[in-house]
């Protein structure tokens, strides 16, 4: 098996470190307003596939706490203009 369970959280499993070939890694920097997308084959294993989503929005946007009970928010930069409940870093 090429993975191991580390916790019950969303990212509770990982590839075994000894199976990672760092020499094949491709390092690159994105310019402002660029993004990186990749594709993957369909997951045919019994293990669930976890995803990660990050969204940026203006600090003038007001968050709805009732609709975002399971989400945390961090202020990436600037000043909070709407009184939102940001996490401390």
Q: Are 63 and 73 in contact (CB under 8 A)?
A: yes
Provide the strand spans (E) within 6-67.
Answer: 13-15
CA 25/CA 27 separation, integer angstroms? 6
Residue 10 pLDDT greater than 70, yes or no: no
pLDDT value at position 46?
A: 86
pLDDT value at position 12?
A: 65
For residue 40 the two structure tokens come to: 């993957």
pLDDT value at position 62?
A: 92
> Model confidence at 60, in pLDDT bands (50, 70, 90)?
very high
Q: Which residues contact residue 12 at a Cβ distance below 8 angstroms, ignoring those fewer than 6 apart?
A: 5, 6
Work out the average pLDDT over 32-36: 87
Work out the average pLDDT over 33-56: 83
What is the Rg, in whole angstroms, of the alpha carbon atoms belonging to the chain? 18
Q: Of 3-7, 60-64, 68-72, which one has max mean pLDDT?
A: 60-64
């Amino acid at each position: 098996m090429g993975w191991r369970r580390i916790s019950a959280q969303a990212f509770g499993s990982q590839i075994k470190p000894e199976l990672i070939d760092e020499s094949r890694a491709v390092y690159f920097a994105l310019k402002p307003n660029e993004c990186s997308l990749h594709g993957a084959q369909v997951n045919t294993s019994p293990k669930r596939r976890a995803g990660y989503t990050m969204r940026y929005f203006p600090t003038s946007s007001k968050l709805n706490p009732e609709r975002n009970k399971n989400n945390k928010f961090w202020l990436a930069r600037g000043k909070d203009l709407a009184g939102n409940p940001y996490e401390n870093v």
